[in-house]
Structure 1
Amino acid sequence: MKDAKSCTSISELRDEIDRIDRMIMELLARRQEFVCEIVRFKTDEKSIVAKSRQEQLYKQRRAWAEELHLSPDMIDEVYKTIVHHNIKKELELHNKSKKQ
């Protein structure tokens, strides 16, 4: 991966952004694998929603954002979206396993 300052054209910068976006998506796919497996250890909808875990996660991600000079508000939005979709997936898997 190149250093952003070493890029000499807009197209080179866009190519690097595309590569990074692909890497982010691959990491999100890997994260989802773990989300799908965690359902095995959750017994009900309350444990899937896990409000206290959510609050801990958002607080930690905001702190990481600050350390990395990112907007904590942006990271908060991103993770709230990720968690919302993960909970939806976990509930789907949980309900499917109950029917079997």
Structure 2
Amino acid sequence: MLECVSIEEVRDCIDRIDDQLVRLLAERSDYVQMAMTFKHDASEANVPSRNEEILERVRNLSVEYGMDAGIIDAVYRTMIEKFVSLQQQLLSKNEGQD
């Protein structure tokens, strides 16, 4: 972490990190969509056991990095919910095309 001497420098660092986060989320989204090729219908989009596995793993990582696990939990729950919803919508469309 850089030692910033002004609020502008702090904001620049946050912006740089946000750029990286968005790039990584886009990559994650690509893999989420790839996972759909292995699913047959919208009912397979939500796998609660996998969701909990992900949440437990990232909560543990957050503790390792000295971050509030509650923040990570909330962010990941929202992300998982949105990606599951996207998969359900896309898989439902594909079902209608069969």
TM-score computed with the length of structure 2 as normaliser: 0.91
How far apart, CA to CA, are the structure 1 residues paired with 2:69 and 2:82? Answer: 20
Distance across 1 between alignment mates of 2:94 and 2:43? 16
What CA deviation, in whole Å up to 9, does each residue of 1:73-95 have, x standing for no partner? 11000000000000011001101
Residue 85 of structure 2 is matched in structure 1 by 88
Contact kept in structure 2, 1:36 and 1:93, CA below 8 Å = no
Query: What is the aligned partner in structure 2 of residue 4 from structure 1?
Result: 2
Unaligned runs of 5+ in 2: none
1:13 Cα deviation after fit: 1.2
Structure 1 stretches of 5 or more lacking a match?
none
Letter in 1 for 2:40: T
Partner of 2:30: 33
- For these two proteins, the number of residue pairs brought into alignment is 97
Runs of 4+ in 1 over 3 A off after TM superposition: none
CA distance in 2, matches of 1:44, 1:57: 22
Matches within 5 A, 1:2-81: 3-5=1-3, 7-81=4-78
2:92 and 2:41 map into 1 onto residues whose CA distance is 9
CA RMSD of aligned residues (A): 1.1
Tell which has more relative contact order, 1 or 2 (C-alpha 8 A, sep 6+): 2
Deviations 1:34-69 (A, max 9, x none): 111111101233421101101111111110110011
Percent identity between the two aligned chains: 33
